[in-house]
Amino acid sequence: MFDIILNEQTPKVEDEVVLNDENVTKLKYFFNYSTNLHSAAGLAANQTSLNGERFQIRAFMMRLGKLPILCVNPKIEKTFGWKLKKDEGCLTWPGRRISADRHMSISVSYFDINGKQYNKMLRGLPSQIFQHELNHIDGVEEKVI
């Protein structure tokens, strides 16, 4: 059902997700798929295809420690401090690295699959993962090195 789209830039997802029955069902399938990728720190929905078509939905899975969470309609509310250049892995570009400037502390908001809103402060690696996955759904082109 789901597959990762390899070696292609992810296009921006414009519309926020409406959590109707159809989208919730799709998000459950995506979350199950993404959490079974044990090496994945995160995966944006639009990095995948659903039945052969790019899955254009504003959501991603990320791991906070070992706990996978689904972030629906994620936003960075505020950044703190300066950016640091980070080299990261990416499932879109297997065996290659991404070079990106990341804030080490951010304030974020997102919804879960039930429509509950979360507001969190993320630091370090969780901050980096959130920014990486949000860039995918915002269509930000990262430098592949």
* pLDDT tens per residue, range 99-141: 999 999 999 999 999 999 999 999 999 999 999 999 999 999 8
Q: What average pLDDT does the structure give for the chain?
A: 94
Q: 113 is written with which tokens?
A: 């699959």
Element (H, E) at 76: strand 67-89
Assign 1 a pLDDT band (cuts: 50, 70, 90): confident
Q: What is the pLDDT of residue 144?
A: 84
Assess whether pLDDT exceeds 90 at residue 39.
Answer: no
Domain span including residue 34: 2-8+15-144
Count of domains observed in the chain: 1
Q: For the domain that residue 82 is a member of, what is the CATH number?
A: 3.90.45.10
Hey, which residues are catalytic here? 133
Element (H, E) at 123: strand 117-123
What's residue 28's pLDDT?
97
Query: pTM value?
Result: 0.95
